[in-house]
Amino acid sequence: MEGRRAGRAERMPLFESVGEALKREIASGRFAAADVLPGERELSDMLEVSRTTLRRAIAALVDEGVLVHRHGAGTFVRRSPPHVEQPLSRLTSFTEDMRLRGLTASSRVIERGTFLPTPEESMMLDIALSETVFRLARLRLADGVPMAIERAAVPLRFLGGEEPVADSLYAALQTAGFRPVRALQRLRAVVIGAAEAAMLEIAEGSPALDIHRVAFVADGRRVEFTRSFYRSDTYDFVAELTLSANARERAEGAVR
Ligand code: 16G
pLDDT in tens, 23-54: 888 777 777 656 788 888 988 998 899 999 99
Q: What is the pLDDT of residue 85?
A: 86
* Total number of residues shown for the chain: 256
> Under a CB-based contact definition with an 8 Å cutoff, are residues 131 and 181 in contact?
no
Q: For residue range 146-203, what is the model confidence (pLDDT) as tens digits? A: 999 999 999 999 997 666 788 899 999 999 999 999 999 999 999 999 999 999 988 8
Q: Judge if the beta carbon of residue 107 lies within 6 A of ligand 1.
A: no
Q: What is the pLDDT of residue 5?
A: 53
Higher pLDDT, 56 or 73: 56
CA 93–ligand 1 middle distance (angstroms):
4
Angle at 179 between CA 178 and CA 185, to 5 degrees: 120
Q: Measured from the CA of 148, which atom of ligand 1 is nearest? A: 10
The residues facing 67 across adjacent strands are 77
Evaluated on CA atoms 54, 56, 58, 60, the torsion sign reads negative
Q: What is the pLDDT of residue 10?
A: 61
Q: Judge if the beta carbon of residue 226 lies within 6 A of ligand 1.
A: yes
Q: Which of 170, 225, 238 is the best mutation target for the ligand 1 pocket, counting ligand atoms within 8 Å of the beta carbon and taking the most?
A: 170
- Banded pLDDT at 95 (limits 50, 70, 90): very high
> CA separation (Å) from 53 to 36, 46, 57, 66?
19, 13, 6, 17
The torsion angles phi and psi of 215, rounded to 5 degrees, stand at -115, 150
